[in-house]
Structure formats: structure tokens, C-alpha cells
Structure 1
Amino acid sequence: MSKGKLAKLYTITTAAVLATSLIMPVAPETAHADRGVVDLWKAIKPLTTIASAMNTGAHPDDEHSSMLAYLSLGKGVDTSSVIANRGEGGQNEIGSELGNALGIIRTRELQEASKITNIHLENLSEKIDDPIFDFGFSKSPDETLQKWGEDVAYEKLIRRIRTLRPDVVIPAFLNEPSTHGHHRAINVITVRAFKDAADPNVFPQHAKEGLAPWQVKKLYLPAKEKDYSVKVPVGDYDEIYGASYVQLGEESRFMHKSQGMGRHYDEGPSFNYYKLDQSIVETKDKEADFFTGIAYSFDDLAKEVARQSGGEKVAGELKKLQKDAAEVIAAYPSFASVAKEAHEMLADVEKATAVVEASSLPTDTKTDLRHRLGVKKSQLNKASAEALSLVTKVKPETTELVAGQTTKVTVTAYNGGQAKVGKINLALNVPKGWQAKPQSPTSFSSLGYNQTVKTTFDVTVPSDAALFQPYAAFAITADVSYSFAGSTAISHVTPADAIAVLPSFSMVLSPNATVLNTQKPEEPIPVKVTVKNYNPGAAKTTITLDVPKGWSVEPQAAPLAFEAKGETKSVAFTVKADASVQPNKYTVTAVASGNGKESRHGAQVIRYPHIGTTYFVQPATLAIQAFDLKVPEGLKVGYVSSGFDNIDQYLSQLGVNVTNLSAKDIESGDLDQYDTIVLGIRAYGFRPELIPSNARLLKYVENGGNLVVQYHKPEDKWKPELAPYPIKIGAPLIQWRVTDEKSKVTVLAPDHALFHSPNKITEEDWDNWIQDRSAYNPSEWGKEYTELISNGDEGEKEFTGTYLTAKYGKGTYTYSSLVWYREIPSLVPGAIRLFVNMISPQQ
């Protein structure tokens, strides 16, 4: 069969695979041979070029996915994505996780997205609560860099550039006022880094670490069709992948499910446009691609090296690698032939590296060649495993470990190809202080078709092992080395899911945050501690609560016995505050103790089909905010959740009778039984029964009900006429929000009941808000509404439509863009008082 016919056959098959993958979640850690010839092509295409590119962004999902797919999958360019933070300050469209838990989800989504486009991923944020944190929307790059620590962020970016040594750098966004401050900040430091990464006087400590300066060749900025230097044909259709690069890019974007990313695109021409901003090579107004004027192939590199003193012999070796790469490509799609050619190229890379080291070339040139040959060696290792259909795995007995535990981890190598490999060695990599002892031989003379070799290791976790960090590299990995056709390759293997060291007894307090009403300090706080045993077998512990001085807790201790790992038990405590408790923040901590050990942590399991399983280990605490609060007796509220907030849970803790309304309740239930009905943020976009039932909601108001609607985006199917009097949401959305949580709030209707009943609202109630004031404010509204407040960011026109209320018939309709979903879980006293007033029917 001809290659053309093969390509057509692969196209049909792959198109079916892609069509499915755009709908179904992509499982983590796909096995090597799952996509056969497609994965083989993905592995060998990078051998044809020595070019490299870097895309920088602020948050997970900022990457230019189509362009990255074109460069990496289409051209074989060594492509990297450098993302600043973990997206902790964003919203969540698949669950109620916010803050660090959301950051963990978005990081895993980004990792899976990067696998699809075959790019190298780096984050500037390196740990939980890193200074480079997503603190929410910002309108200013200066504010962003001030909060991140400009030197901290800049040093990390320069370090990534000097480590990865990209020829071309492309920030994902422009530095313009209509853009998120985080996006602008990354643009600012990326543009500045073009020169500074090459300056040895900028962060000179890098040189002491062996990290040499690096001069990027070109820097491009996003542009439009009317003014560009390069247009990237992302709409080109690749027969082998069975999709265009736009479609491949969107396949990766579908991984960002928590942000609602991913779209379906039809086939056809389309382009991304970029404008050259800085360059050290000669350029033209219009360029064929990013790499015009830059060495792209081994032959190009050989010409540059040959012009330098001592470079002729090295140039000869580079030309040989050009020939090798061409032979690898020509051998496709024969797996055995590709494997033979790839291993011959691998041997030549080793030889070229030795020749470079022995040459008299300038130090900078040798450093560059050493890096590029190292990248090529890594690519050839991957190409070898694909071509030989060598499937390597590291399989732990359990992914959930505790300090001091010994477990078993098995490393396997399976040969699914027709070529026999030899000198197989299975090595397990564990952190410093851990022990890994093989229980059987780790070396094997040969491995033929359909054969498997394996070694099981006894792995001992030290008693002082650190608890799991979700942003750290895998704790346990494996390296499988083997020989074929005269050279040795290494397959680096990671487990399918993270192997985590967890607390021996993981504790979760319910509630984990609550209000102590200082008007009723004698009221007890019920606390349930749910304990999960992560020890490998039966275990005993005693649970106590560490409470503030002067507070009491009953019982004082609760012993627990577990028969097996994974067993969960709960104990109930009653906490009482000191009678003279003052308004303040307090913390209650759960403690599990026994056998001379103590645990004060819990492990939140984060599990979704598209990202697998990971964990957020954090202190097992209950946050208590004490302040004065009045809640009407018997207040009955119907809550319509979009799934993006948990305000209903906090209202229940306050003594409000809350019912979560189902679709049936909304469509045909008795709405008049509720004093108030609350719609969660963006509910019209995610509760399909709401729009058809909107007339019922308005009738409920007309009959005397109190309807509270939290903010929406236009894409949430919001239409002005959904409100009893029209409300139009401002656009572009980026300009209709208040990001300064400390911004001054002016009450426009000080006599309105919402500021007096049942709680008297004062200026202090606008203090200590977090992250934002409001989002997606209305730009137009009916004259029937009372404008309750005005508020805006410094130097900007204040919004007066943030908090609107109106009488409609016998009832009240209130629309609010204040970010209640962030403030109330953070126990902001003023926000809670205001919300209680808003859901309390006013006379």
C-alpha cells in the first residue's frame, strides 16, 4: 500500500478518534501504542528541526493552543508553554472548588492539555500559596507585579528562558488597558526578558548555578490581519492527525473543563496573526514563518558552526544528523524501520556530542550545541519507544502512602513490536531518604514480541517524609533502558496517578467555616470530625480538638479504632465559646494522636475523569468568625444553585431554613411557600428549566415573593427581559467589574430597608472583603429600580447598577453583581449581614 493511501486510511481512523475525544474526557497517561502510527509520527516529526519556541501566559488556558499545535505537532518545533500562576482566583464550572483546590484542578487540566499538543510545560508558581498567585481579576500590570513580587516573577521567567533556550518567544497577550492585569504583567516581563535573559549581569546567580545567559532570536506579539509579520496557518488540515491544527488545539482546550473551554470548529482555512516586536536577525515586513532568518534544520546549524573557528568537524557531524533525520522520516510508517533509523541517529547524536566537547568552539556555541543535542537525544528516546512499541509502566501497589510505610512498586516493560531489544534494565527512582529494594533481577538480556519483563521493588517511605505537594514532580518514577541497533535508549515513566504521602489519619471538619453570633454566644457549635484511615491496615488513634483559650469542648477526646485502610469514621464534638467572646476570627483544629505521633491535617481528594485523582493536603481546621448578626426566626429560602457556589450551606448554618430547588420545584412546585428565592451565580446558563419557568418566578414576585438574582454573564443566556424591568449587562465584561476589594462604597439609598433590617449596615460592613467587589455589572436598567450603592476602582467612573432592587407587584426583585459567592464562604461579616438583609422580606 502506498504512503498516500496509508495516510488516507489513517486520516479516517484518526478523525473518528478525534471526534470521540472532543466529546469524551481524555484519560490521563495514555499508553504508548494507543494511537499507533499517529503517536509514532508525533514522536519522529521533532527530529527534523532544531528550532524552538516559547509561549508565555498568566493562567492555565491562556496558551495559544492552535498555534502550539501547529508548531509542535505540525512542524516538530521544540515548543514550550510557560504559565505564571495556577488559576486559583478563577471560577469553576465543574464543581464548587475554589482557591487552592481550584488551582490544583486547573494545573492538572493544563498538564493534560499540554500532553495533547506535545509541548513542554512550566509554571512560575511552584507551590501552594506561592507569591505568584492568582489573586483575582486585576486591571493593572503594576498591581499584579507588586503583589507577585516583580523580582520574584522576573527571576523565574528569566530562569525558564535560560533553561529552555527558545529561539522565538511569543507572549499570549498584549499590554493594553482592555486586558486582564495578569495578562499584561506577563507581556511586560516577557518583552523585557528579550534582552535581559542574554545579559549576564541580570540575575548573575544563575551563572554560578551553571545556567548560561541566552539571547532569544525573535519576539512576536499577538496581532490582527490588518497588521502582522507572520500568519500561522492553523486551519491547515493534517492528514496523519486527521484534523486541522485548530481542531487539535481545541482538543487540548477541552481539557480546561473547569473554565468551560473548548469549541467545535469546522474544517477550512484560518490563521493566527503575530507582529514582530524585537529581533537580533535580519527581518522583513512579511515573513514566511517565525523562523525566517533563524537556523531551522541541522544543515542550517552546520553552516553557522562551520563559519566559526574549530567548527568544521562539528559541522560534518551535524550534516550527518540531517541525513539521519530524513531517513527516519522516510522509513515511516514501518515501525521496525523507523526504530532502526532512530537508533542510528541516536548513536550519531552521542558521537556529535563528543565531537562538540572535544572541539575548540567558543564556550557559548558549545553550550548551545550541547543543549540542542540534549533535546534531540530526549526526542529520540521517545521515538525509539514508539517505534519499537515498547510499553513501559510503573505500577504502585497503592497510590496512597503514609510516612514509615513499606509498599510494593512494579516496573514493567512490554514489547509490542516485531523487533527484539536487548540489555533491558528496570530502575525505580525515589526521593532522597526513601529506600527502594528490588525483589527480583532488574536486568534482562532480551525482550521479544509480546513478552513482558518486570521487577517489583519494596519501597520504604521515611518516617519524616513530607506530605503530598500537588505541584511537585512525581515522587516515584522509573527509567527503562535498553539496547537496539547498536545504541541504548531510555524510557522515562511516570505513574498514571500521583503517588501521594498522606496523613495517617486524614481529618475533615464539618463545617469547615462558620459564624459565631456574638448576640448568642452561649449557642453551642456542633463539629463533626470525619476521619479516614490511610494506614496500610488496622490502626488506632484518639481525636481531640484544639480550641481557643477559655473555650470548652465535649467530649474532650474520642478514641477510634479502624480495621482496615480506607475505613472512615466520624466523631461529634460540641464547642462552646467563652461567654465574653469578642468579634474576631478564631480557629479550631482537629488532632489525631497515638503511638507518639500526631496529625493535624486532612487530605481533600480531587477526582475528575479528565484529570484523574490528586489531593489537597491542608490543616484540619474550622474557621470561626464571631460578629453580631440578626436572622429572622423561621426564614424560609428556596435556593437555585448553578453548582458554582455553596452559599446555601452557609445560610443553613446561620439558622435559615434552606431548600435546594429542583427542576420540578421550579417548573411546577409551590413557590409561594418561600419567603425568598435566590438564584445562584450564572444560574440561567446552567439550569435549563429557569428560562422556560421565568414567568413563574416573576409571578412569584408579583404575588409578594422576594426574588434575589446574583450576577450573570451575557453568555449565560441572560436577556434584559428576564428581569421584571430590563437589566442589560455591560460589555466588554472586562470593563464592568470592580477589582479592588478595598474600594470605597457609597450608599445611594441610605434609608432603604436593605440597609436597616434586620441588620443595621454601617461603613465597617464594607471592610475586609476579599479579591473583588463586583463582577459583570449592568450597564443599563429600568428606571423602576433603586440604585443602592455606587462603587468603582480608583480613577474610574463608579458603577451605580451593582446593587439594584425594585418593587414588582406585591413583592421585591433584587439583582446584585456583588461577589457574594467569594465573600460569604470567607466569612466576611459585612457581606453576610447584607445578604441576610437581602433575603429577609422587607416591608
Structure 2
Amino acid sequence: MNKLTSGLLGVWIGGMIAATAQAQAPVATNSTDIYRKMQKLEVLGTVLYFAAHPDDENTKLLAYLAKEKQYKTGYLSLTRGDGGQNLIGNEQGVELGLIRTQELLAARRIDGAEQMFSSAYDFGFSKNSEEALSIWNHDKILSDAVWIIRYYQPDVIITRFPGDARAGHGHHAASAILANEAFTAAADSTRFPEQLKNGLTIWQAKRILWNTFNFGGNNTTSEDQLKIDVGVYNPMLGEGYGEIASESRSQHKSQGFGVAKQRGQSFEYFTTTGGKAPSKELLDEVNTTWSRIKGGEKILPQVTKLVKEYSFERPENSINQLIALHKTISALPATTPYRKQKLDEVEKLIVDCSGLFAEAVTGTGYAVKGQPLKITITANKRNEIPVVLKQVSLNNEWDTVLNSSLAKNLNFSFPYTLQVPVTESVSQPYWLAKPMNKGSFEIGNQQNLAQPENAPAYSAVFTIQIKDLEIKVARPLRYKFTDAVKGEIYEPVTVIEPITVSVAPAATLLNVQPGNEKTAQPVVEVQFKSYVTAEKLPVKIQLLQQDKVLYSKDSAISVAAGNTYTIPVALKDVSEYQQVSGIHAAIVVVQQGKTYTYTQYLRHIAYDHIPDVNYFSESTMKVVSPEIKTVGKKIGYIPGAGDKVPPALEQMGYAVTLLNEADITPANLKQFDAVITGIRAYNVNDFLEYKYATLMQYIQEGGNLIVQYCTNTGIGPVKAKMAPYPLQITNKRVTDENAAVKILLPQHPALNYPNKITAADFEGWIQERSIYHADQLDVHYETLFAMADKNEPETNGSLVIAPYGKGNFVYTGIVFFRELPAAVPGAFRLMANLIALPKH
């Protein structure tokens, strides 16, 4: 019996522990941290901040509320930021949303707030709230917002934006509209009554306020508004909230939001949009002490005494008082507000005061279905307090009864091998588990809204006894390893299939002229990676369109764990391939009468500032049949912030050379028919300032320089001169991917050679037409297109061309970085024409 077969006979281990999956080293809690957590026990106030995107939140205010006022503080970002641009890599769409989800969680770990999301999808820039609410499905996202308010039970809700044009973005305005509607609807039992089950009740917040602002040239603050100084200094933290906020905001690295630390007085302004307006504080007339709940009068003196008698040198001296407090809170009725929250806080304090360290780690990042996973369990009690480790369980199924008294500062470790069940679910982010709608994810049960990400695949629960109190301490199973440069690293553990499958290339162009060997005999490569070892495994290799089998071949393959294999299939052997819109692969394995079909590939995203991200998707090759004529062969590409344009150019038959600073010399550039800069190249590459003369010389001598969009904002300034004649980069854009495109210069070579560009070439585009248009153009520039979103004036800065010497300079805000990877035929044809612009 081979290893794959034996693995498929695994035993089921089910259940999930609802714990926060943090893939960073365990947090070291010092004596000051413990004291501040004790102070937080005295506070029973809750605030919910409400906006549209990652980066919309006011991190200074969040830090002030969470760490100075010590309120339970949450940030609800309606979207995960999927539709934005990426300054650190080439991920777009849901992949960018995965990155920004983790950036938000990293930010919250710094500023102390909690993170939540709705099911809304960031479909890109929206110019008005009507469009946003229509695409999102107003009632669906309102329902999410109401559920979160009923679940989180905030005393006060704060919006970042107003519900009108001053918000500057349709999503921003829509977030405020939904927040104010949800403020009222959450207290109405006739609205979304299906939610009033499983413990949820209606909830009326005391008030909802708009956190007015002064940025982007728009000052919405005034001195008659409620004003709070959130820039105060906290000596226990050693920082002011401006400093903490800058660290938090700087986690939004994919957006280039690193900011300097701010110190000193800093006022935030608020105007009331619902409920009773406050006069001095955000939570005016909200009782934030234990006296707000029935039975709280017994708890308040215990907490006061606990804080007063705390010893910074001997935190363990507080354990008896914490245990007594735990018993008092436990005696409250189960439905008492704040009971669960405060019990959790007390139990964490008991663990902190005991000096207990506990972890469950493994030496691999992947738990392969049907295969063994070696785990090491460790506990260490680092002070004199008696602690008995009664048992350890994994996902509440496997457990080991120990009843061992832990010795002071000695590691108590033992190994365990988990047989990962064949029936285990892979670790897919819950919002990607089902096909999504245009404007929202299908998240299944709304209770998923309580978690910003999946619970860990496996958690070890340590049952400990201190004095007469038994506590369960959950720790996520993590992949632990040592990097020679970075040191000890912790990452998530991902449950995966034993085989992952993909196809390459992402697009096949069937009719490139003059063509080359690659396009004349197109091949689809079935690539699969094995995470198991097996000899002569009988498989069926298939290519499909949706569920329709276009190609099938029986084979027997020997595989080794960790290896990737490629099987080329001539596209001519795939039935109906010229008519299909997408082809994906499947590896079918039959073992002991059971059939296992593998169709997804594993995408791994790694950046130093966030935990590694893994998700599963179906790899699809798109087939492009329309004719695409090309002229020229060699392209020099100067990478920018990251995009997938170079592979698309290679599909067109061009030889693409990536150019770094040292490669940009007059002699080297002469070989290229065109030089193209990646998106935001002039925002992220300082060296382009010093290469300006070289690039201009290249154009003068007959080259074509094609500059893809750059931004010109305080966040992403243009760092280098780019054009031979004056122009300005603006934030003008056309967000409707179906907006009409008017051809202004029908005889221009860029629209005729070698491809005739017509309105048909702008069909099938995704997300948007163009962004960051050029304006204030010198007379040398020619503008080829005029386009506009609904009810807006036309703009002609999406594609501008200026002859210069013998060559041409092109600036384009047209989103080739989206359309080429999406295999839009017209985008290929237009790009080919820009590359082929004739010499003068």
C-alpha cells in the first residue's frame, strides 16, 4: 500500500476552536501590560467605528479609545480593499483583499482595536453612493451592518465619512448611509427578524456621530462641534496616541501609507447624526462602570481593590483576587451584558499572572489531508504559582490526560502525530469558499461576520488548574521555524489537498500575426504539485470548461512529496478549444474504489509585515481567438509597483527584458522596439530621475517609451520627470468598464497600425476603463480617446502621445495592468499598436 493510499484511510478529527489566528511570535506580556488589563476590567463601554475600506479608519482615534479610554473598540470596514492598487506586488482583486485583511489585523494589534468586515466586495473606485449601494445590494450589506451592531452592541457608533459627495468616493458615502440606517434598524425588531436567534437581540446605540475631517482640501470641522484631544501622552505606554497611530497606519504597506510619528496635541471633531448629542465626551450619559448591570455592585469593589493592591514586581500575588473575581462574574446570569467579555479578560489575566507559556507547533506549514502531521506540545510555568496541567486536547477531539504539576521554568513537552482526516476541509478563507456576486461575497451564515478571518485549522486547548479554578487556554497550531536572518518565525498551518493543479499560460493567443513557434503550436501545460509520495499512481488527466470534459488521458505517475510536475498538452488535441472561454485542469485519482478529483491550485502570498497567506482557486487558461497583429520583437520593461503585464507581452510573442537601474543606458536601450514602464514606476523608482536624459535620448533616436499610469498625490508623488513636454497627472478616471469610448483621431497610427482599433476593442473590459489621466497638456501631445462616466464631462487624458525626435512618448492611464491579465482581446491589440508606433 503506497503512502497516498494509507493516508486516505485517516480518522476524522472535527470541530473548531474560535480563537484568533495570529501568525506572529507569542506576545510577551510584561507587568505594565497586566496592570493596564486590570484597569480595563473597570470599563464597560463599547464603540464601533464604521467606514468602507482598509485605511479609512482613524487610527489615532481608535488607539485613544482602545488604550486611553479602554473601551471595547471595533472597526467595521465594509470591504477588504480588493479593488485598489498594490504598491508592493502584483496581487489584484481578492488577492489584494487578502493582503489588506492581514494589514488591518496587523494595525489592530498595534492600536488595540478589533477588526470586522461585511460581505461587501471592493469593486473599484465608485463616484457615487447610488452606484455603490446598487452593486453591493443595499439590503444585503445593511443586513450585515445590523447584524454586527446587534452582535457587538456598541454604545456609540462613529462614521468616518458623511453620506454625500464630500466623502470623495461612492463607497465612503455609502458606508455612512448604511451606518445611519443600521443605527435605527438594529433597534427595530421588525427589521431582519431572522437575526434574532441564537442569542442576538435588538440593540439601540446611544448615538451615532460623524468624525469630521480636514484633509484632501475639504475641511468639514468647526469649533461648534464636539472636540476631543486624542494626541495625549500615556507614560505607561511610553508613547502618545499619535505615535501609536503612525505605527498602526504604517501597516497599510500595500497602499504606501507609511507615515512619520506624530507627537503633541491633536483634536478630533464630531457632529451627531442620530441619537442624543454629547456635550463633553463621546460616551456622555453612558454608564461605563459595573453599576450599569444588575449584580455589578458586587464586582466593582473587587476590581477596585485588585487594581489598587497590584504588585508590579509580583503579579502572581493577584491570582487569588482574580480567582475570586472570576467566581463573582461567573455567578451572573449567562445573558448578562459584558459577562463573557470580562470572564475572558479575567482568565487571560490569570494566565498572564501565572507566567504560563503554552504552544502547539509543527515543522511544516501544510497539513495534508490523509497524511500524518507531527506536532510538539509545550507548556512552561515561569513562577512559583502552583499550576496543574490536567490535559491537552486538539480541536476538542484528541486529548491526553496528564494531571501533571508544572515545575517552575522547566519546559514540559511531548510529541503527537495527527493523522489529518481525508474528510477535513481545506483552509479556504470563508468569504472565498463560495462563488461571489459582482458586488459581494457569499459568506454563508452571518455568524461568520464575527470573525475577520478563519479560525485556525487546529487549536490545542490546555486545561490548567490554579488553586480551585480550572481554565481552558487555547493556542492555535502554528508552523514554527528559524530563519538564519530573521530568527524564530511563526506562520499559520493550512490544510491542503494532497495534489494541487494549475494550467499555464494564463492566456493563449491563437491568432497572433506574424506569429511564432509558440503561437503556431499552442500548448496548455498541466502543472501539478504533489504533497505525497506514491509509486505508479493511476490518474486521469483532464482539461475542462466548467464541468464539460474537453480532454482526458489515463496515465500512471510516480510522485514525490514536494515536487512539481508538468504535462504538456497540444491545444489542437483539446476539443472545441477555439470556442471555449476558459480551460482548467483536473487530476482524478481512484483509490480503493473511491474517486478523488483535484482541480484547485494553492496560491501562497508572503510579505514580511503580515502572516503568510494561502488560498485555493481554480487556475484557468483563457483562449483569445481574434487576430492580433504585432510589429517588433524586443521589449524593455522597467518594473514599477508590480503588475502582470510582462507575461502578457510574452504571450504576444515579444521577448521581454526586465530592466533595472544599471540596464538603462543608451547603448543597451537601442536594441528595444519599445520600452514600457510598469504601473507607478515613477512613484517607486527614485533612480528614474537620473535616467530621464537617457530615456529621452532613446526616444529621440527612434524608440517608443510607453509610461503606464502613475499617481500624483501626497501618498504617492511622482519622484522623477517622465515626459519630454509638460503634462500633469490627475486623479481623473473612468470607472465604468462599459463606458462609451469616443475615438478622436481615427487616422492616428496608434489606431490603425498594425491593428484597426474600433469600438469593438473596448468590449469585455473589467472593473474600469482608465485611471489617473494626464491633463494640462503641452501642444505637442495628441489625445486619442474621450470617455466619461455617467453624468460627467468627457476627459481626453486616458492616452496621450507626443512625437519626440524620431520616436514617441506615450502616457496611458488605460488599465492595461487589469485587461491584459484578464485576456481582453482589444487591450492586446491596442498595446501592440503603441509598441509599433512608427518612427518620424
Counterpart-to-counterpart distance in 2, 1:397 and 1:442 = 24
> Per-residue deviation at 1:712?
0.8
Once the two structures are superposed, the pairs formed by residues 180-195 of structure 1 within 5 Å of their partners are: 180-195=169-184
Secondary structure of 1:609 counterpart: coil
- 2:625 is aligned with 1:626: yes
Distance (Å, rounded) in 1 between the aligned partners of 2:558 and 2:116: 44
Kept in 2, the 8 Å contact 1:406–1:460? The answer is yes
Aligned pairs for 1:285-324 within 5 A: 287=280, 289-299=281-291, 301=292, 314-324=295-305
1:362-406 CA-partner distances (Å, limit 9, x unpaired): xxxxx4xx1312111111122222222212212245441233334
Separation of aligned partners in 2, 1:536 and 1:411: 27
Q: Is the 8 A contact 1:542 1:594 kept in 2?
A: yes
User: 1:175, 1:712 → 2: CA distance?
Assistant: 29
Are 2:668 and 1:670 aligned? yes
Q: Are residues 1:412 and 2:347 paired?
A: no
Cross-structure match for 1:83: 77
CA distance in 2, matches of 1:588, 1:28: 32
Cα distance in structure 2, aligned partners of 1:651 and 1:423: 61
- Secondary structure (helix, strand or coil) at the match of 2:728 reads strand
> Structure 1: how far apart are the matches of 2:35 and 2:258?
25
State which of 522, 525, 548 in structure 2 corresponds to 1:525: 522
TM-superposition CA deviations, 1:168-191 (whole Å, max 9, x none): 111222223252212222111111
Question: Which residue among 203, 209, 215 is the counterpart of 2:204?
Answer: 215
TM-score normalised over the length of structure 2: 0.85
User: How far off is 1:825 after superposition?
Assistant: 0.5
Q: Read off the aligned partner of 2:176 and give its amino acid letter.
A: N
Which residue number corresponds to residue 766 of structure 1?
762
Q: Where does structure 1 lack aligned partners over 5 or more consecutive residues?
A: 1-25, 126-131, 306-310, 358-366, 431-435
Separation in 2, partners of 1:766, 1:211: 49
The Cα shift of 1:216 comes to: 0.7
2:34 to 32, 36, 40: 40
Moved more, 68-77 or 786-795: 68-77
Aligned: 1:473 with 2:466: no
- Contact 1:824–1:832 (Cα < 8 Å) also in 2: yes
- 1:781 alignment partner, SS class: coil
Query: Cα gap change, 1:190/1:555 in structure 2, threshold over 3 Å: closer, same or farther?
Result: closer
Counterpart-to-counterpart distance in 1, 2:78 and 2:379: 36
Q: Please identify runs of 4+ aligned residues in structure 1 that moved more than 6 A.
A: 518-522, 536-539, 551-555, 577-581
Distance 1:495 1:503, change over 3 A: same
Amino acid at match of 1:718: V
User: Which deviations, in whole Å up to 9, do the C-alpha atoms of 1:328-375 show, x marking residues without a partner?
Assistant: 6x4446321343433332222113x1xx46xxxxxxxxx4xx131211
**Compared CA separation, residues 717 and 78, structure 1 to 2 (3 A):** closer
Q: What is the rounded CA distance, in whole Å, between the counterparts of 2:301 and 2:457 in structure 1?
A: 39
Aligned to 2:421: 462
Query: CA contact under 8 A between 1:720 and 1:726: conserved in structure 2?
Result: no
Which runs of 5 or more structure 2 residues have no equivalent in the other structure? 1-20, 214-220, 431-453, 479-490
Distance 1:143 1:457, change over 3 A: farther
Is 1:451–2:410 an aligned residue pair? Answer: yes
Q: Which residue of 1 aligns with 2:703?
A: 705
SS at match of 2:529: strand
Question: Which residue among 558, 583, 593 is the counterpart of 1:587?
Answer: 583
1:758 and 1:333 map into 2 onto residues whose CA distance is 79
**Counterparts of 2:554 and 2:570 in 1: how far apart (Å)?**
11
| Separation (CA, whole Å) in 2 of partners of 1:578 and 1:532 | 22
- Pair 1:673–1:458, CA change in 2 (3 A): closer
User: Is the Cα contact below 8 Å between 1:504 and 1:535 reproduced in 2?
Assistant: yes
Does residue 573 (structure 1) correspond to residue 534 (structure 2)? The answer is no
Corresponding residue number in structure 2 for 1:400: 366
- The alpha carbon displacement at 1:794 in A equals 0.5
Question: Which of residues 480, 484, 487 is equivalent to 2:466?
Answer: 484
Cα shift at 1:757: 0.7
1:644-700 per-position Cα deviation (integer Å, ceiling 9, x unaligned):
212111111110122111211114642122111111111012222211111111111
Letter in 1 for 2:358: T
Q: Equivalents in 2 of 1:379, 1:514: separation in Å?
A: 56
More helix by share: 1
Please tell me the residue identity of whatever aligns with 1:334: R
Instruction: Measure the CA separation in 1 of the matches of 2:688 and 2:743.
Output: 32
- Deviations, residues 545-569 of structure 1 (Å, cap 9, x unaligned): 41569x9999945643223x32333
| Residues in 2 aligned to 1:243 and 1:400: alpha-carbon distance in whole angstroms | 39
With normalisation by structure 1, the TM-score equals: 0.85
Give, in whole Å, the separation in 2 of the partners of 1:198 and 1:426: 42
Distance 2:33 2:131 in 1: 44
For the residue of structure 1 that corresponds to 2:282, the secondary structure is: coil
Aligned residue pairs, count: 767
Cross-structure match for 2:725: 725
Q: Tell me the SS of whatever aligns to 1:275.
A: strand
Closer, same or farther in 2 for the Cα pair 1:210/1:298, shift >3 Å? closer
Q: Take 1:583 and 1:763, find their aligned partners in 2: how far apart are those partners?
A: 22
CA–CA distance in structure 2, aligned partners of residues 616 and 603 of structure 1: 6
Kindly provide the amino acid, as one letter, of the partner of residue 227 in structure 2: K
The residue aligned with 2:330 is 350
Instruction: Say if 1:743 and 1:793, in contact at 8 Å, map to a contact too.
Output: yes
What residue identity is the alignment partner of 2:171?
Answer: H
Asked if the contact 1:635/1:840 (under 8 Å) is kept, the reply is no
Match status 1:205 vs 2:197: no
The question of whether the paired residues in 1 share the 8 Å contact of 2:502 and 2:618 is answered with no
Contact kept? 2:538, 2:557, Cα under 8 Å: yes
Percent of pairs identical after alignment? 29
Q: Which residue of 2 aligns with 1:442?
A: 401
Partners of 2:545 and 2:394 in 1: CA distance:
47
1:142 aligns with 2:130: yes
In the TM superposition, 1:127-166 aligns within 5 A as 132-166=120-154
Query: Which of 38, 63, 88 in structure 2 is aligned with 1:94?
Result: 88
Q: Please say if residues 586 and 625 of structure 1, whose CA atoms lie closer than 8 Å, have aligned partners that are also in contact.
A: no
Paired letter, 1:700: Y
Cα–Cα, structure 1 residues 39 and 493, in superposed 2: closer, same or farther, change >3 Å? farther
Post-superposition shift, 1:83?
1.9
- The one-letter code of the counterpart of 2:65 is L
Query: Matches of 1:228 and 1:461 in 2, distance apart?
Result: 62
- Matching residue's letter, 2:589: S
Query: Are the structure 2 counterparts of residues 350 and 211 from structure 1 closer, same or farther at C-alpha, using a change threshold of 3 Å?
Result: same
TM-aligned CA distance change 1:412 to 1:67, over 3 Å: same
Matches of 2:379 and 2:236, distance apart in 1: 28
Cα separation, 2, equivalents of 1:106 and 1:559 = 42
What's the counterpart of residue 743 of structure 1? Answer: 739
Q: Is the alpha carbon distance of 1:209 and 1:407 closer, same or farther for their aligned partners in structure 2, counting shifts above 3 Å?
A: same
**Per-residue deviation, 1:113:** 2.1
Q: Which residue identity lines up with residue 296 of structure 1 in the other structure?
A: T
Farther-moved stretch of structure 1 (154-163 vs 551-560): 551-560
SS of alignment partner, residue 227 of structure 2? strand
The equivalent residue for 2:117 is 123
- 1:70 is paired with a residue of what secondary structure? helix
Letter of the 1:67 counterpart: L
Matches of 2:719 and 2:243, distance apart in 1: 31
1:764 Cα deviation from its structure 2 partner: 0.9
